[in-house]
Amino acid sequence: MTLTFVFLDGIGLAPASADNPLAQVPMPAVHRLLGGPLTSEQIGYRDHLLLTALDTCLGVDGLPQSGTNHVALLAGINAPALHGRHQPHFPPVALRPLLAERSLFRRIRERGLRVAFANVFTNSYWQAVASRRLRRSASVIAAEGAGIDLRTLADLKQGRALSWDITGEGLATRDPEAATIEPISPQLAGERLARLAIEYEFVFFESFLPDLAGHGRLGTHGVREALTRIDGLIAGWLDARRQQDNLLITSDHGNIEQASTTTHTTAPAPLLVIGPLARHLHHVRRIDEVADAILQALPAISQ
């Protein structure tokens, strides 16, 4: 049994409305799966399928932010409370050692299971980190702390890695090193993600498309394009999955589900689980409970 964890930054779970793109943009794979859109009306547990809502505020005033909530998701700690506030963008310096030490990646590897981080990282990315134009994200800190090899353009060319934007179009446009990379369909990206589970018990992939689109940074049609790609990724994974494969999709805070604002929201994050492991995760109610819930389900994964 395997688990693929897809982290989608900036998706909240809200009621269907004219202001909720998740209810308005056609997402046929999601509709077939849930019997409707990815909205709060579909919350519930069916056989091998779970949709529930996760608190993202964690008892701290203000709008949830990525810097602390990424740590909460990956380390299973109430990072905003420990930090004293919600912090945007990147993990607080004081919490980075804790993240590296108790990340989900590290603790899964300590149980003897194989872990893959599916995202590609180019030389340009590492140069930006070295020159401090970029800081390491929570996922990179967690992966390095767990001793996980991060994937390169060679892996991407071989179909063993994915670009954060799913298709690779943004990567090819913005990174000269990747200019020769041919973009792929969202469906093919999902199939490649599913195939990684043949070699690994735990696969992690993250995309920031919904948050960028929700902030209005991807243009007029950015929200529709982001949701279309996500739906295609899910469709491709569903087509290529094996019976024992599981998919877990969640987020860190709301954003894209409210078209009338370009800020984050206090909406809960969706927890969508497809596969036999769904029955092990129905009790999760907060994003800082996800990591420990996955760890508790490891006996089932390792069988």
Record the tokens describing residue 141, joined without a space: 């800190």
Q: Which amino acid is at 276?
A: P
Q: Say if CB 229 and CB 247 are below 8 A apart.
A: no
DSSP for the chain reads -EEEEEEETT-------TT-HHHHS--HHHHHHHSS-SSGGG-EEETTEEEEEEBSSTT-SS---HHHHHHHHHH-S-HHHHHTS---SS--GGGHHHHHHH-HHHHHHHTT--EEE-BB--HHHHHHHHTTSS---HHHHHHHHHTPPPB-HHHHHTTS-B-TTSSSHHHHHH-GGGTTPPP--HHHHHHHHHHHTTT-SEEEEEE-HHHHHHTTTT-TTHHHHHHHHHHHHHHHHHHH--TTEEEEEE-SSB-TT-TT-SS-B-PPEEEEEESGGGGGSTT--BGGGHHHHHHHTHHHHH-
Q: Which amino acid is at 112?
A: G
Determine the Cα–Cα distance for residues 72 and 85; give it in Å rounded to an integer. Answer: 13
- In degrees and rounded to multiples of 5, residue 197 shows phi and psi of -70, -10
- What class does CATH assign to 2-302? alpha beta
Report the pLDDT value the prediction gives residue 180, as an integer from 0 to 100: 76
Give the residue extent of every domain in the chain. 2-302
Q: Does residue 3 come out as left (phi exceeding 0), alpha (psi in the -120 to 50 range) or beta?
A: beta
Record the tokens describing residue 46, joined without a space: 């069916």
**What count of other Cβ atoms lies within 10 Å of the Cβ of residue 43?**
15
- Of 75, 165, 151, nearest to 120 by C-alpha is 151
Record the tokens describing residue 159, joined without a space: 């179909």
Backbone Cα Rg of the chain: 18
pLDDT tens figures, 165-175: 999 988 766 76
pLDDT tens figures, 128-148: 788 888 788 999 999 999 999
What pairs with residue 151 in β-bridges? 120
Determine the Cα–Cα distance for residues 73 and 142; give it in Å rounded to an integer. Answer: 11
- In degrees and rounded to multiples of 5, residue 242 shows phi and psi of -100, 165
Report the pLDDT value the prediction gives residue 302, as an integer from 0 to 100: 56
Determine the Cα–Cα distance for residues 237 and 193; give it in Å rounded to an integer. Answer: 7
Q: Say if CB 7 and CB 33 are below 8 A apart.
A: no
Q: Say if CB 194 and CB 201 are below 8 A apart.
A: no
Give every residue of the chain whose pLDDT is below 50, as ranges.
Answer: none
Report the pLDDT value the prediction gives residue 298, as an integer from 0 to 100: 77
